[in-house]
Amino acid sequence: MEEYRSLFRELHWIVEDISKFVAPEFTKIDELPLNQRQVGILHLIIRRNKITASEIAEHYGITKSAVSQSIAALEKHQFIVRSINEDNRREVKLELGPRGLETKQRLEEIETTLLNRYISKLDLKDIQHVKNVLVQLRDIMHEFREEHRNHEA
């Protein structure tokens, strides 16, 4: 178990070090008039355009009421717009508004900079391996959370 602990600590420190190089690239994004939850929801909408408030609540494990408050702020600042789902007219989909599209473009520019500067210097197979290991870890964490939710219910 001590080897796991030691490696876990090293990984944590490495991720912290990496974030020191990456974080400055995001300073312009950090200047958005949004709180941390709203930024997270905006990023989710950028990744999964046309998403519902229920899907956001499920993704973050928060109430629809909390999501609604964040959606109102995002909509007020024109980061998102609401649209009616043509397949289910009672369902409202959220998609990017003008400022959301600008933010998405800035994120893509930052991503390109990071890819060119750092990521492209690594072997593609190594990157795929790291991704696979992280997916395994995420899946273990999801399973653990679900098991404990089911035991609490």
- What is the CATH code of the structural domain delimited by 2-152? 1.10.10.10
Residue-by-residue pLDDT tens, the chain, 153 positions:
999 999 999 999 999 999 998 888 887 666 778 888 998 999 999 999 889 999 999 998 889 998 999 999 999 999 999 888 777 777 888 999 999 999 999 999 999 999 999 999 999 999 999 999 999 999 999 899 888 877 665
Nearest Cα residue to 49 out of 93, 91, 9, 11: 93
Q: Where are the domains of the chain?
A: 2-152
- 112 vs 80: CA distance, rounded Å: 24
CB of 75 within 8 A of CB of 82? Answer: yes
Cβ-count burial 47-63 (b if 16+ within 10 Å, e if not): eeeebbbebbbeeeeee
CB atoms within 10 A of CB 74: 24
pTM of the model: 0.78
Contact indicator for 68, 53 with CB cutoff of 8 Å = yes
